[in-house]
């Protein structure tokens, strides 16, 4: 019997084909083959939510290949992933083949496997089933909901809030979480408090720290010492005190390991420990799941990575317990396997936790590339640790009191008696301090202690931290918003839309994001409520479990949502502006330290500043714009930190540029430079992030106006490498490929050696470039740089060996062999290179070159236009 097996990816197809042998033809669908067209009417609520699907040219060819293969086959086996999306892909393939009428007389089977190993695949083939239509219905409901929200709400945003990009069912709620946290931070008022700490010594002269726990007969909480007066009084009382031990309490406790990873917890931990984004984590996990070449055989190293379950196959638990015994000793193996249950409501998609397919494949014995090695190590350790013995910890507290009983001190400590799972793995934390692990010396009740040192320290309460990827995913999961397979896409979409920026791996809402959130909260509040979105997720889970028909869910949702869209049709722009001016006032017009009116125009000194909407988005303008004379002051929504700079409306001339005077001007999107450009429109360049109008010198202005800067020809690709600044920040460009640079200064200073390395690393990283070659192999690799936090490597570049720390490159001296470079020497060379920088001479030459060549590039369109005009004239005569 000949069978055609359909999977999602060519990598998965290649691996499975080796397992199944000659009786099977394994083909890839390359993900979804159909989708709703990006146009109005793809979902038809008035036709019982009929869906109009579309297939592109590539998908049509893949379906044709599957159909052609079926001509000589007896059976179609749909072997896509074991979750909702996998079920939907199988359903789409089946529907497309039915439309081609190629399934007559063919046996159609659906199989799923949680790991791509020979045993798992063959076991799945022996247990086929039908397509799970309840999971397909859940997919249809989600897809239809997301489409209707996007295609109904986004046009409202475009009309009422120009410059906005889009709104989404879950995306908008995630954005609201980020904005709400930022507002909370802005409203936060620090509170002063003091702590009093002492160094004590017991009768054996062993010293240890203690903290004031009671003063003047009152037990103290964290904020109970509000000022210096009370703190110094308490400090002096401790200095004079004659303290004795009043109580000793030792509590033994057990600390159990965390469960193995789900999709969400993997994304959180990879963000904390590896600095991976959610999308990067899922891409690497996908490669580990689909298979890695080991000794000539392609093997899946982990189980399926989109799951919200924490349970583990009993056979896998036995294998892990065996690996623990052989690696760490039998004392680390608990008496019975540990079984975990998910705390998440309606946990379903793929039920088993993420784990290694073979725990005997120890990470330190595997030869994997950088990202794969790091993520596999994390997954292996977490899964193995989840089956290890608990850690035994003793927590000790000792109280001390002086004779009057009005002043008390307390010392605390803990000691690990048996490390258990902590020998292998400790879970990361978000915005918390680790517990101190210190042992207190032996003391007994009534023992006298000496006060060796006392200090009073001032502190201030801090606002809640901004969300990192890890803490935002955790928050979304806690609120029941989104599902494991959607988190990476949600976060990526917010960045793509420029609704947020990232600073030190934390989300900061952009002004555009704050505007959209304020608009939705005031005019579509129900649809960005946390509870509403979570309730809708629960209903979608009911669809997947067969408890709710998907079209009934859609009808209920659409009735209210459509009415809300209709109601807002008559909303005037002035109403939107009035509301946003009030809601965003504290952010747009923050109070000034001198108490003056924050809305008073800094240019004319008469008009009032307010929010205005233009073709390209919102900006702040002066109410006196129709005055006599009119005031043309504008600025972006949020003023830059520091005093507001009032650039004259006609601009401020900086000096002479290559094609005329360079003028500094102020626009609705902030300050910018302008320079004549022959007969064409003037050339303009906005000031990069971190550059203030006051910092603009003639050299800086000329360098900025000359961008993009030509760095040089790539030695092997024979294409020019350019450095420039775009909407997403500083970049390198070669052809159609772009690679980000760390800072604006790099645009002007980067030289060929490092530029080629950055481009080659981008190509090797599997990004959106056109190439896929390997990155230069490291000759030598050291520990992380104390400056960048990234590994220091000695690499072999196009122009000889060099040292890199992720941000700076330094050539290896000619009299030194690259393999003989020490870590200390590498750090010294990097520091010297960073200090030397790129000098002014290196900035100017490329700038002049680029400026000189610019007119040549722009002459081409004029010649083409002249030819076209000539051709038209000739045709007219004829």
Catalytic residues: 304
* CA-wise closest residue to 428 among 265, 288, 305, 282: 265
H-state helical runs in 673-795: 698-705, 744-749, 752-764
Instruction: Please provide residue 559's backbone torsions phi and psi, each rounded to the nearest 5 degrees.
Output: -55, -50
Of 122, 73, 420, 64, the closest CA to residue 256 belongs to 420
Cα–Cα dist 470/266, whole Å: 9
Q: What letter does residue 422 receive in the DSSP assignment?
A: G
Closest CA to 757 of 783, 732, 779: 732
Helix, strand, or coil (residue 457): strand
Cβ burial 416-447 (10 Å sphere, 16+ → b, else e): eeebbbbbbbbeeeeeeeeeeeeebbebeeeb
Contact status, residue 666 vs residue 635, Cβ threshold 8 Å: yes
CA dist 579 and 573 (Å) reads 10
Give the C-alpha distances (Å, rounded to integers) separating 34 from 52, 90, 92, 148, 169. 10, 11, 7, 18, 21
Give me the phi and psi of 217, to 5 degrees please: 80, 5
Q: How far apart are CA 785 and CA 834, in angstroms?
A: 13
Max distance between CA atoms of the chain, in angstroms, equals 117
Residue 102, C-beta contacts closer than 8 angstroms, at least 6 positions apart? 67, 70, 71
User: Phi/psi at 377 (nearest 5 deg)?
Assistant: -60, -45
CB 14 within 8 A of CB 298: yes
**Please, are residues 587 and 599 in contact by the beta-carbon 8 Å criterion?**
no
- DSSP sequence for 628-652: SSPP--EE-SSPPSSSPP---TT-E
* Token digits of residue 53: 């699907």
Q: Which residues contact 638 (CB under 8 A, 6 or more apart)?
A: 511, 587, 588
Helices and strands, counts by H and E, the chain:
23, 32
Strands (E), 267-407: 292-294, 297-299, 391-401
- Rounded CA-CA distance 27/80 in Å is 11
Q: Which residues contact 291 (CB under 8 A, 6 or more apart)?
A: 11, 12, 14, 15, 116, 298, 299, 300, 301
For 257, the 3-state DSSP assignment is coil
User: What span, in angstroms and rounded, lies between the C-alpha atoms of 561 and 565?
Assistant: 6
Could you give the CA distance from residue 470 to residue 475 in angstroms, rounded to a whole number? 9
Q: How far apart are CA 320 and CA 333, in angstroms?
A: 10
Q: Are residues 851 and 841 in contact, defined by beta-carbon separation less than 8 angstroms?
A: no
Q: Determine how many CB atoms are found less than 10 A away from the CB of residue 5.
A: 25
**CA angle (823, 826, 830) in 5-degree steps:** 140
CB within 8 Å of 675: residues ≥ 6 apart: 657, 658, 659, 660, 661, 662, 663, 682, 683, 684, 705
Q: Tally the residues of the chain.
A: 878
Terminal CA-CA length for the chain: 69
Which pair of tokens denotes residue 228? 């210096």
């Amino acid at each position: 019997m000949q069978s055609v097996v359909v999977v999602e990816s060519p990598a998965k197809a290649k691996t499975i084909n080796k397992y199944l042998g000659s009786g099977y033809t394994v083909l890839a669908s390359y993900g979804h083959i159909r989708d709703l067209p990006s146009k109005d009417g793809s979902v038809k609520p008035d036709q019982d939510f009929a869906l109009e699907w579309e297939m592109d040219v590539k998908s049509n060819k893949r379906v044709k290949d599957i159909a052609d293969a079926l001509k000589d086959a007896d059976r179609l086996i749909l072997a896509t992933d074991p979750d909702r999306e996998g079920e939907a892909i199988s359903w789409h393939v089946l529907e497309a083949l039915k439309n081609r009428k190629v399934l007559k007389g063919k046996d159609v089977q659906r199989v799923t496997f949680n790991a791509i190993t020979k045993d798992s695949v063959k076991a799945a083939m022996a247990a086929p089933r039908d397509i799970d239509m309840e999971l397909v219905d859940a997919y249809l409901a989600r897809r239809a909901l997301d489409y209707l929200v996007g295609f109904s709400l986004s046009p409202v945003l475009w009309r009422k809030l120009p410059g906005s990009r889009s709104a989404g069912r879950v995306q908008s709620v995630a954005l609201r979480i980020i904005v709400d946290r930022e507002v909370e931070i802005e409203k936060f008022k620090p509170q002063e408090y003091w702590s009093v700490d002492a160094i004590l010594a017991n009768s054996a002269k062993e010293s240890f720290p203690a903290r004031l726990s009671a003063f003047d007969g009152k037990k103290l909480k964290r904020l109970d010492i509000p000022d210096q007066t009370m703190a110094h009084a308490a400090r002096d009382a401790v200095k004079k005190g004659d303290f004795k031990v009043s109580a000793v309490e030792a509590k033994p406790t057990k600390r159990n390991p965390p469960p193995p990873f789900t999709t969400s917890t993997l994304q959180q931990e990879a963000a904390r420990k590896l600095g991976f984004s959610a999308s990067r984590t899922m891409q690497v996990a996908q490669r580990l799941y689909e298979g890695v070449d080991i000794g000539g055989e392609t093997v899946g190293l982990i189980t399926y990575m989109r799951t919200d379950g924490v349970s583990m196959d009993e056979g896998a638990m036995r294998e892990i317990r065996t690996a623990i015994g052989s690696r760490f000793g039998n004392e680390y193996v608990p008496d019975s396997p540990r079984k975990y249950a998910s705390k998440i409501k309606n946990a379903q998609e793929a039920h088993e936790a993420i784990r290694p397919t073979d725990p005997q494949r120890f990470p330190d014995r595997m030869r994997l590339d950088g990202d794969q090695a790091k993520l596999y190590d994390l997954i292996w350790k977490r899964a193995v640790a989840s089956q290890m013995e608990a850690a035994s910890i003793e927590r000790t507290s000792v109280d001390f009191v002086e004779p009057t009983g009005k002043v008390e001190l307390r010392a605390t400590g803990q000691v690990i008696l048996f490390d258990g799972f902590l020998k292998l793995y400790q879970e990361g934390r978000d915005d918390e301090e680790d517990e101190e692990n210190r042992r207190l010396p032996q003391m007994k009740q009534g023992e006298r202690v000496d006060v060796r040192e006392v200090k009073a320290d001032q502190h201030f309460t801090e606002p809640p931290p901004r969300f990192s990827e890890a803490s935002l995913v955790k928050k979304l999961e806690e609120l029941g918003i989104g599902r494991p397979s959607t988190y990476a896409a949600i976060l990526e979409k917010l960045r793509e839309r420029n609704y947020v920026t990232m600073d030190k791996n934390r989300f900061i809402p952009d002004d555009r994001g704050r505007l959209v959130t304020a608009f939705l909260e005031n005019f579509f509040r129900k649809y960005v409520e946390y509870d509403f979105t979570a309730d809708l997720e629960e209903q979608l889970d009911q669809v997947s479990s067969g408890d709710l028909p998907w079209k009934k869910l859609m009808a209920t949702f659409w009735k209210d949502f459509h009415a809300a869209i209709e109601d807002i049709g008559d909303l005037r722009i002035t109403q939107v502006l009035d509301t946003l001016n009030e809601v965003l006032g504290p952010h747009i017009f923050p109070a000034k330290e001198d108490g003056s009116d924050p809305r008073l125009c800094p240019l004319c000194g008469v008009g009032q500043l307010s929010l205005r909407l233009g073709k390209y988005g919102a900006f702040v303008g002066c109410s006196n714009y129709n005055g006599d004379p009119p005031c043309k002051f504008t600025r972006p929504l949020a003023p830059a930190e520091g005093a507001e700079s009032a650039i004259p409306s006609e601009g401020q001339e900086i000096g002479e540029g290559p094609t005329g005077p360079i003028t500094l001007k102020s626009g609705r999107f902030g300050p910018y430079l302008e320079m004549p450009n022959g007969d064409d429109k003037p050339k303009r360049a906005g000031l990069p992030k971190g550059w203030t109008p006051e910092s603009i010198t003639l050299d800086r202005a000329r360098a900025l106006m000359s961008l993009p800067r030509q760095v040089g020809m790539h030695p092997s690709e024979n294409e020019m490498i350019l450095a420039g600044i775009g909407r997403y920040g500083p970049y390198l460009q070669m052809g159609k490929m772009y690679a980000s640079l760390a800072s604006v200064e790099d645009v002007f200073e980067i030289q060929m050696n490092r530029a080629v390395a950055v481009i080659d690393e981008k190509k090797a990283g599997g990004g959106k470039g056109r190439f896929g070659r390997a990155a230069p192999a490291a000759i030598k690799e050291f520990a992380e740089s104390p400056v960048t936090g990234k590994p220091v490597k000695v690499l072999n570049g196009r122009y000889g060996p060099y040292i890199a720390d992720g941000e700076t490159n330094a050539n290896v001296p000619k009299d030194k062999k690259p393999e003989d470079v020490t870590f200390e020497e590498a750090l010294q060379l990097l520091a010297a290179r960073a200090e030397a920088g790129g000098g002014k001479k290196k900035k100017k030459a490329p700038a002049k070159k680029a400026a000189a060549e610019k007119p040549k590039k722009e002459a081409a369109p004029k010649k083409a236009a002249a030819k076209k005009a000539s051709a038209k004239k000739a045709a007219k005569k004829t």
